[in-house]
Amino acid sequence: MPHDPNTTLDQWADQSDYKWGFVTDIDADTLPPGLDEDVIHIISARKGEPEWLLEWRLGAFAKWKEMAEPAWAHWPDRDWRPIDYQAISYFSAPKRDEDRPKSLDEVDPKLLETYEKLGIPLEERAALAGVAVDAVFDSVSVATTFRDTLAEAGVIFCSFSEAVQEHPDLVRKYLGKVVSRTDNFFAALNAAVFTDGSFVYIPKGVRCPMELSTYFRINQMNTGQFERTLIVADEGAYVSYLEGCTAPQRDENQLHAAVVELVALDDAEIKYSTIQNWYPGDENGVGGIYNFVTKRGLCAGHRSHISWTQVETGSAMTWKYPSCILKGDDSIGEFYSVALTNNHQQADTGTKMIHVGKRTRSNVVSKGISAGKGHNTYRGFVKILPGSDDSRNYTQCDSMLMGAECGAHTFPVIEVENRTAQVEHEASTTKIGEDQIFYCNQRGISSEDAVSMIVNGFCREVFAELPMEFAVEAKALLAVSLEDSVG
Amino acid sequence: MSLLEIKNLHASVEGIEILKGVNLTIEPGQVHSIMGPNGSGKSTLSRVIAGEETYEVTEGSVSLNGKDLLDMDPEARAREGIFLAFQYPVEIPGVSTKYFLRTAVNSIRAHRGLDELDAYGFLKLVKEKAAWVELDPALLDRPVNDGFSGGEKKRAEVFQMAMLEPTMCILDESDSGLDIDALRVVANGVNQQRSPERGFLVITHYQRLLEYIVPDVVHVLLDGQIVRSGGKELALELEAKGYSWIEQEVAAGA
């Protein structure tokens, strides 16, 4: 039906054929399942978006309808049930406080035990467990302190929705410039229906005065399943951004299709670290999140530098290839990854390094750990374009297997169109053997400590890239994720 | 009380019985040696004492200072004082030897009610004990046994033994693959650790090692049973006559 973007949501709901039972308190409501243009109109109207953004969404949606869900992934040992996109609700307001636990006493003790093991600071546990924040601690004051510090430096760090309102020119200039709205099936879906996410802008010559992490962890709960992040580092700027958290996050949404775009101008550097620990499903492979994410960075400027570091231990299925387009001369792209699959988890992850500019360099270190019946796939693409003189890539891809029922798979693709390029690919596969565990046991070390020691040793090059406190948490996370995986 | 007491020990792997009633008692301060042909069960015995789960104990008992070992996990046995110097020490890529050993030392110290060793105390101990087996301390920054030569592995095992200060040391063919100089170094490292409280069980094919580590008792293990025990001269006799001589005697006696 034709739609006037100026119509308020209430009016729109009234004239629609649907009887949604909308009441005045729209904040607490959830759209019924289903996806069509009307839903996109509602999302956009609900967020008070400008016309161009609505058009942008609708364009993505039109294209998405013509696209097919990708089927190329390698999924041994898991029945792929196509996702019913009409069964998903595309707008879900945050839970009302009265529906949440009132205090930590009402939270599942097992969850709290895990937080304890991971060393999550006490004040963050409540927020992570979904306790109504105001009931526990004053997050507003924490957030305000951070905000003041950032504002002094001129850094913009806010929710995506807020950025659309407050910094529309910046958003419009960069949105979809790295991952176009029709880049792939899930990116198109995200473009059509994303509800929120984060926006970061670091002005010229500014070094962001803090890791954008703690703040993020407290404030980015419930951003929904279609999250969108845009980070722009202007000339000579630097930012280190941390997404996610080691604590197991509960979420009823099965599909997560986020998009992250990074833009680094001349001499800028962006360090993006992720710890992903979404619900992996139970030990029989029932349930769990599908994590289908598009992450890409554009080294637009000369001597710019983008570095992706990820520790992926959660989700039932992960498809994720944080990539770099090295457009500026002398730009650098890096990808450091640890992906761990246990029970029936499947992770298909890797990177693309596209060398466009001259003397560009990329470095890829991928560590896949498979335990139980888990499968890990490394998928890499290195391309050196004709104009990219004297460029270099080094890829190291290591797999570790625990037990006899897991798998590791590697699909590296290298395309070199310039004779001056140097491209190296190294791969190894190791197995944690019972003999190694026994050897450790014989020296008085428990099996759990032994596994944790061996796995951490295997991952040390990647952990070295994480901000310090997260490296510590990541180690604990791997140990917890592998509990009971050795007999 | 005896240090190690093994009574009528039967053990099998994948349904095949390897140990068929081993009896062995080691007193504190003693060095016992076990010799025997290939396949007689020497390595199995060492691994059963250490608690490797591949082996199923079907009968008998093993105790250390009166405590039942068979009920314990391998790490608990190690903490109680069992140390096995492996014939083929495994490599653990990515884990530095120092880090590995510090974890081991501290888990054993915790069991003994001692404080954790701090970095300084640990490195001091490392320096002292590495000298016993003439081990290049630079090796200890490398991953556990990773890229070590055969000789370095054997020396590293004896070095680890010195670091962990066990009460019952089992050496499984610590002489195999060593040239005479390396053999002397390894034996010297072991001899430095002899004490009135500590017991040793030295498994070897060759009398040669026993010239350097002089045993109090020598046992011959044949087809899963100790068929003869004697003084160090028994080793010399075996060296001269081989095992078939004993096999025949045992067969005749049966």
Q: What is the CATH number of domain B4-253?
A: 3.40.50.300
| Domain C-terminal end among A432, A459, A482 | A432
Considering its fold, how many domains does chain A have in total? 2
Domains of chain B, residue spans? 4-253
Closest CA to A477 of A452, A445, A460, A458: A452
C-beta atoms of B100 and A453 within 8 A: yes
* A443–B104 C-beta distance less than 8 A: yes
Which of B48, B95, B111 to mutate to test binding with chain A, by most A CBs within 10 Å of its CB? B95
AA letter at A373:
K
B167 — contact with chain A (CB < 8 Å)? no
Q: Are residues A362 and A424 in the same domain?
A: yes
Instruction: Tell me how many residue pairs between chain A and chain B have CB atoms under 8 A apart.
Output: 78
- On whether both A46 and A186 belong to a single domain, the answer is no
* Per-residue model confidence (pLDDT) at position A399: 94
A131, A59: one domain: no
Please, what is the average pLDDT of chain B? 92
Answer yes or no: do A31 and A116 share one domain.
Answer: no
A271 and A175 inside one domain? yes
CB contact under 8 A, B78 and A442: yes
Q: Which residue matches tokens 């081990």?
A: B135
**Contact partners, residue B211, CB within 8 Å, separation at least 6:** none
Question: Any chain A CB within 8 A of the CB of B164?
Answer: yes
A266 and A213 both lie in a single domain: yes
**A61 and A146 fall within a common domain:** no
> Do the Cβ atoms of A443 and B86 come within 8 Å?
no
Residues B64 and B170: their CA atoms lie apart, in Å, by 13
Report the alpha-carbon distance of residue A320 to residue A295 in Å, rounded: 7
pLDDT in tens, B26-38: 999 999 999 998 8
Would A454 be classed as within a structural domain? Answer: no
Look at residue A471 in the predicted model and tell me its pLDDT: 83
Query: What residues have CB less than 8 Å from A255, skipping those under 6 apart?
Result: A83, A88, A225, A289, A290, A292
**Whole-number pLDDT of residue A100:** 57
Instruction: Give A-chain residues touching B73 at CB under 8 angstroms.
Output: 441, 446
Residue A164 lies in a domain: yes
Q: Of the candidates A382, A412, A432, which is a domain's last residue? A: A432
Q: Are B94 and A451 in contact (CB under 8 A)?
A: no
Is residue A386 domain-resident?
yes
A109, A58: one domain: no
Same domain, A289 and A369: yes
Let me know whether A56 and A109 are in one domain. Answer: no
Report yes or no on A410 lying in a domain: yes
The residue ranges of chain A whose pLDDT is under 70 are 1-30, 73-81, 92-104, 106-112, 114-145, 213-224, 245-253, 484-487
List chain A residues with CB under 8 Å of B92.
Answer: 436, 439-440, 453-454, 457
The answer to whether residue B75 neighbours chain A at the CB level (below 8 Å) is: yes
Q: What is the 3-state secondary structure (H, E, C) of chain A?
A: CCCCCCCCHHHHHHHCCCCCCCCCCHHHCECCCCCCHHHHHHHHHHCCCCHHHHHHHHHHHHHHHHCCCCCCCCCCCCCCCCCCHHHCCCCECCCCHHHCCCCHHHCCHHHHHHHHHHCCCHHHHHHHCCCCHHHHCCHHHHHHHHHHHHHHHCCEEEEHHHHHHHCHHHHHHHCCCCCCCCCCHHHHHHHHHCCEEEEEEECCCCECCCCECHHHHHHCCCCCCCEEEEEEECCCCEEEEEEECCCCECCCCCEECCEEEEEECCCCEEEEEEEECECCCCCCCCCCCEEEEEEEEEECCCCCEEEEEEEECCCCEEEECCEEEECCCCCEEEEEEEEEECCCCEEEEEEEEEECCCCCEEEEEEEEEECCCCEEEEEEEEEECCCCCCCEEEEEEEEEEECCCCEEEEEEEEEECCCCCEEEEEEEEEEECHHHHHHHHHCCCCHHHHHHHHHHHHCHHHHCCCCHHHHHHHHHHHHHHCCCCCC
Domain that holds residue A27: 9-66
Q: pLDDT at position A431, please?
A: 86
Quick one: pLDDT at residue B243? 85
- The 10s digit of each residue's pLDDT in B231-251 is 999 988 888 888 888 888 888
Q: Is A50 left (phi over 0), alpha (psi -120 to 50) or beta?
A: beta
How many alpha carbons lie under 13 Å from residue B92 in its C-beta half-sphere? 26
ipTM of model over 0.90: yes
- Whether the Cβ atoms of residue A301 and residue A263 lie closer than 8 Å to each other: no
**Predicted confidence (pLDDT) per residue in B212-221, tens digit:** 999 999 999 9
Interval B81-101: pLDDT, tens: 999 999 999 999 889 999 999
Tell me if A80 is assigned to some domain. no
- Residue A374 within a domain: yes
Same domain, A113 and A56: no
Say what the pLDDT of residue A74 is: 65
CA separation, residue A246 to residues A120, A146, A312, A467 (Å): 8, 21, 10, 13
Last-in-domain residue among A409, A432, A455: A432
**% of chain B residues with pLDDT over 90:** 72
- Distance to chain A for B219, nearest Cα, Å: 25
pLDDT score at A197: 83
Residues of chain A with Cβ-Cβ distance to B99 below 8 Å are 453, 457
Closest in A435, A438, A453 to B103, CB measured = A453
Same domain for A157 and A39: no
